[in-house]
Chain A
Amino acid sequence: MSKILILVLLLLASCKSGEQISTTGIDEIQFGNGGGFTGKEVVFTLKENGLIKNQNDSIVNKLNKEEVLSIFKTASKNKNVEFVKPRNLYSFVTIFTPSGTNKIVWGIGTNLAPKDIRNLHKKLMNKAIQKK
């Protein structure tokens, strides 16, 4: 009986985490840098399952659920931020939700974009290049 209870509790706990990520309302986040001579972007994608992939669809890192939840919560809080001020070299965070897509763009080195977003980008980039 106690084993069954523990199993049920564990299942509930895992369900709770899963529910929390989905309840953020974020489908996925794209982030990276771009511009310059070519105008190309280096794009990484973080999905609900914690996988960060590069634009060649290769997995560059896998985040645990807590990390994903934290990042998606920040993204959810800032999903309606309107900020598009690129420079020749720029950073971006694109937030995908069921209701639409919001791309936030700012010149690298400028601190005009909301701090939450800049910190989110920094955190994501560090995860993408597996920098502690």
Chain B
Amino acid sequence: MKKFQLKICLLIGLAIVSQNMTAQTNAQQSSNSTKHTVISPKNSSGSANLEQRIKTTNGSFFFNLKHKKIAYSTLREKLNNFFNLNNKHEFREVKEKSNSSKKLLQHYYKGIKVSESVIIVHLEKNYVKTINGRITEFSDINIVQNISKDQVLENAKEYLNVTRLIQNYPVETVIASVPNRENRKIKVVQRVRIDSYTPFEMCYVLIDANTGEVFNKINLIAHADVPGTGQTIYSGSQSITCDSYQGNYRLRENIRNIQTFDATNATDLTNNGFVGATDYINSSTIWSTSPAIDVHWGMEVTYDFYLSQLGRDSYDGNGSIIKQYLNTPFSQASQGGDPNNAFAMEEPYNMMAYGLGDGQYMNPVVGLDVEGHEFTHLVVNKNGNGGLVYQGESGALNESFADIFGVCVEFYSGVDPDWLIGEDIFVQAPYFRSMSNPNGGQQPDTYNGNGWADPNDLYYDNGGVHINSGVQNYWFYLLAEGGSGTNDLGNNYSVAGIGLANARDIAYRNLTNYLPPSASFIDAYNGSLQAAEDLFGSSSAEYAAVKNAWYAVGIGTKSYCSGITYLEEQTGTFSDGSNSEEYGNLTHCTWIITPPNANQITLNFTAFDTEQGYDKVLVYDGPDTSYSLLGTWSGTTIPQTINTTDGTGAMTVVFTSDESSTETGWTATYSSTILGLDEAILSDNLKVYPNPTNGLFTIESNSNENVTVEIIDLLGKKVRSAHSISKGTNKMNISDLNSGIYMLKFNSNQHQLIKKLIVK
């Protein structure tokens, strides 16, 4: 029993000692933590938390926080604390990155980008795995900017003695670390890129935003790059960039990161390219005619198009090397390949290959639209959503995007642009595909129309990927250029073109934001509408054109109305536009009724049939939707007469429909109460601004009569007695009145006028 008691005592004693030791250890840790609030990379995997401050090495840091279970949102909230930065600093997430597990955070100070100061966060299962980067550490700096953008460009050109620019770039205000005698200093600078022919420069010039002094020039050209001239087969003589190498020149360049190789004697294919491929070598920078010049120049143009027009640096947006090969084994008939073809090889190769043609059917397959087409396949593969599966409808969309941006590259170059694909490369045939007339290239121009290939028949062109691409190709053509006709389904269409640039931006946004890997044409329809809404708004002409262009190629419903319609007659009739048919899905149209000198608008519906609860007519008491909503109607009951408030001579009517089910729509008539002739005369001579006002406003009178004004609220109560208005400018102050709508009642000997005034 004693032994047992002894054992119990020992156990209790050990437990107490153990507990004390643990407590001591915790206390030490706590003490250490309090004492040393800075964590360094070495102890980052220990007890670090987000209340602690990161210790960087000249701004650089790397931490593995995998076991901390820190949510990304929490990390972002704590970043300033983490780096001991005040609240004038912030980190904004850089969008458009394809890798959702990686987040790039750009440093800003008082809203100004801090150059080269970024944080990279990698996530794993929604928690922060690692955080690294290099930040520019500073507290507060003067951000005064006295130099205009034009002056910045002039100073930069003068500094470099530039007489001929290649192209203009926008001036960017950034915070940068710049040389300051023997040290460096953090300053607000204006940064402008200068690409010039004379002298040949590609560089950034950093200029003091306050004084205009040039701080620094950052070369973008590696020493090896030199300008050259090359004779293409199809596009005449063109300026190119090559690099000097052992006394000769190669078709490589470091700025765009383009490398062009001869793969005639290549053997194996590896992730790094074709083994045995060789450089094209020339003894001078003037290159004679060769298909290699076509693809090298063509890829430079393609790169420039994507960077300058879409903000995409290389196929992946990260400036990766662009490798291209001519005459690979896959293009040599003796190797079982096809010389009459060109292709893109996606991950892990990320390269392009071009055949030299058999000379009978095709010449070298190196037209500019071919380069743009093949490069776009790599872009599609890196669209951020997993690419587009190369079969069936998604494969047709993949091919179509390659054609769309291939044509865009051609238009961007300005060298004989057209809507044909592969028009340069044939010995006899005029072209391979036509975006303006897909039927001419044995493609359908209508979904399920003539020439449509069964997307499920994967034995035939992988489900018609090079065939059914004609449908979106034609959609894009109509969207850019406009057109009318009757499609293969018997539907009449009319599309108002929105121009190539707008169409291009919608297509690119759709590709990079909304299309899943197995997208069908209906996904492209929905995604492009969303892209148009993002860029231009759902009541825009661009949105309507996207919809009408899809209707033209057999997808979706027609947009019978579009954008904003202004009705300025004293009376009139208007409708959803569908007449005897049913209105379209996803309609968003606006009518603004503003007859001159109107005092009140009255609206009467004569027919009304919309999908109950989903497709709606909204009426506002004024010239836009910021005014009071008078009511919302849907269903089959004809609404009662709707009036604007007395003195409000404008009404806004909005019609929206959802993505499914349509009805016969509605028709309405409107009439307006017009100010009497006397009122109109006075109205012409009196202006009130600003309206709405914060209380201070001006009455400008051009009347020779003695005019008085009194102010009345909506209850009819006079809140300001009659006040004499003199000819010219009269300042008024009613800032003591509550926000709301008031009436200004003007009186002269012969005339009377009421104007509405909104006090914010």
By a beta-carbon cutoff of 8 Å, the part of chain A in contact with chain B is 32-40, 42, 44, 84-90, 94, 101, 103, 105, 107-109, 125, 128-129
Complex formed: what's the CA distance from A94 to B377 in Å? 26
CB-defined contacts of A109 to chain B, threshold 8 Å:
269, 345, 348-349
Q: Which residues of chain A are within 8 angstroms of B624 by Cβ–Cβ distance?
A: none
Asked whether A86 lies within 8 Å of B390 as measured between CB atoms, the reply is: yes
Question: Contacts A37-B374, A38-B466, A108-B330: A84 and B458 contacting too (C-beta < 8 A)?
Answer: yes
User: How far in angstroms is the closest Cβ of chain B from A99?
Assistant: 16
Name which of A34, A90, A107, A109 has the most chain B CB atoms within 10 A of its CB.
A109
Contacts of A94 in B (CB 8 A): 459
Q: Is B343 an interface residue (CB 8 A)?
A: yes
Q: Inside 8 A of A103's CB, which chain B residues have their CB?
A: 458-459
Q: Are A107 and B346 CB-contacts (below 8 A) given A37-B365, A38-B341, A88-B377?
A: yes
Q: Is B336 an interface residue (CB 8 A)?
A: yes
| Cβ 8 A contact of B466, one of A39, A44, A89, A129 | A39
Choose among B334, B342, B432, B462 the residue that contacts A105 (Cβ–Cβ < 8 A): B462
Minimum C-beta distance from B326 to chain A (A): 14
Q: List the A residue with the shortest CB-CB distance to B343.
A: A36
Enumerate 24 A-B pairs (CB-CB under 8 Å) in ascending A order: A34-B338, A35-B390, A36-B341, A37-B341, A37-B343, A38-B422, A39-B465, A40-B340, A42-B336, A84-B462, A86-B391, A86-B395, A88-B343, A88-B345, A89-B345, A90-B462, A103-B459, A105-B462, A108-B330, A109-B345, A109-B349, A125-B336, A128-B336, A129-B336
Chain A residue at smallest Cβ distance from B425: A37
B335 partner residues in chain A, CB cutoff 8 A: 129
List 4 additional A-B contacts (Cβ < 8 Å) besides A39-B467, A84-B458, A87-B345.
A88-B346, A103-B459, A107-B346, A108-B269
Task: Find chain B residues with CB under 8 A from A90 CB.
Answer: 390, 462
Bound-state CA distance A101–B457 (Å) is 13
Residues of the B chain whose Cβ atoms lie less than 8 Å from the Cβ of A87? 345-346, 390
Interface contact A101-B459, CB-CB below 8 Å: yes
Q: Is the CB of A33 within 8 A of B337?
A: yes
Nearest 7 interchain pairs by C-beta: A39-B466, A36-B343, A89-B343, A36-B341, A37-B342, A129-B336, A42-B338
Docked complex Cα distance between A40 and B458 (Å): 14
Q: Please report the C-alpha to C-alpha distance between residue A86 and residue B460 in the assembled complex, in whole angstroms.
A: 12
Say whether chain A's binding surface is mostly helix, strand, loop, or mixed.
strand
B756 neighbours in A (Cβ, 8 Å): none
CB atoms of B458 and A105 under 8 A apart: yes
Contact B334 A129 (CB under 8 A): yes
Is B189 part of the binding interface, using a Cβ–Cβ cutoff of 8 Å?
no
Given the complex of chains A and B, what is the CA–CA distance between A103 and B459 in angstroms?
Answer: 7
**Least Cβ–Cβ distance between B462 and chain A, in angstroms:** 5
Q: What is B's interface to A at a CB cutoff of 8 Å?
A: 269, 330, 334-338, 340-346, 348-349, 353, 365, 370, 373-374, 377, 390-391, 395, 399, 422, 432, 458-459, 461-462, 465-467
Whether A32 contacts B458 in the complex (CB less than 8 A), given A37-B373, A38-B341, A107-B346, comes out as: no
C-alpha gap A5/B374 in the complex (Å): 66
Most chain A Cβ neighbours within 10 Å, of B336, B338, B461, B462: B336
Query: What is the CA–CA distance of A32 and B343 in the complex, to the nearest angstrom?
Result: 15
Q: How far is the CB of A11 from chain B (nearest CB, A)?
A: 37
Residues of A within 8 A of B458 (CB): 84, 103, 105
Nearest CB of B to A104, in Å:
11
Q: Give B378 Cβ to nearest chain A Cβ, in Å.
A: 9
CB-CB < 8 A to A34: which residues of B? 338
Note all chain B residues with C-beta closer than 8 A to A85: 391
Q: How far is the CA of A90 from the CA of B330 in the complex (A)?
A: 10
Residues of A within 8 A of B330 (CB): 33, 89, 108
Which residues of chain B are within 8 angstroms of A86 by Cβ–Cβ distance?
Answer: 390-391, 395, 462
* Most chain B CB neighbours (cut-off 10 Å) among A38, A90, A109: A38
Nearest CB to that of B369 among chain A residues? A37
- Pick from B336, B395, B422: contact of A44, CB under 8 Å: B336
Within 8 Å CB of B344, what residues of A? 36, 88-89
Report how far A7 CA is from B342 CA in the complex, Å. Answer: 56
B410 to chain A, nearest CB (A): 14
Q: What's the least CB distance linking B60 to chain A, in Å?
A: 37
Residues of A within 8 A of B467 (CB): 39
Distance A89 CA – B331 CA, assembled complex (angstroms)? 11
Contacts of B346 in A (CB 8 A): 87-88, 107
Closest to B362 in A: A38
CA distance A38 to B346 in the complex (A): 17
Indicate the member of A36, A38, A90, A128 with the most B CB atoms within 10 Å. A36
User: What is the CB-to-nearest-CB distance from A49 to chain B, in angstroms, rounded to a whole number?
Assistant: 21
Q: How far is the CB of B116 from chain A (nearest CB, A)?
A: 36
Q: Could you say which residues of chain B place their CB within 8 Å of the CB of A44?
A: 336
A76 CA to B583 CA, complexed, in Å? 57
Q: Which of A40, A107, A108, A128 sits near B338, CB closer than 8 Å?
A: A40
